[in-house]
């Protein structure tokens, strides 16, 4: 399962009908490319995965969760710039 993937994983809980989700997609694509080899980015469609959504208590889209070796480190709700998102990820990794 994606959420049990080893290493660093950023999961984007998203939906096709969600405008902010479409806004953040290019940001996540850029981060996936820039951090290739150290960070894996996955999308989980909230409409198609209701059990996972309930398990992680996802209430809004987009919700981004950063995992290290399957353990959640950070949860963020809403679209943001690449600069801000990378700063938040890096801060969580330092803690």
The residues carrying an active-site annotation are 18, 21
40/7 Cα distance (integer angstroms) = 8
**Alpha helix ranges (H) inside 1-81:** 19-34, 50-55
Tally Cβ neighbours within 10 Å of residue 9: 21
């Amino acid at each position: 399962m994606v959420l049990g993937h080893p290493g660093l994983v950023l999961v984007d809980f998203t939906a096709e009908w969600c405008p902010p989700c479409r806004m953040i997609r290019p940001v996540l694509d850029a981060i996936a490319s820039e951090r290739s080899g150290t960070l894996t980015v996955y999308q989980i469609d909230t409409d198609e995965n209701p059990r996972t959504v309930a398990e992680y208590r996802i209430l809004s889209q987009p919700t981004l969760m950063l995992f290290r070796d399957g353990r959640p480190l950070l949860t963020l709700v809403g679209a943001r710039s690449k600069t801000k998102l990378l700063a938040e990820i890096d801060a969580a990794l330092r803690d």
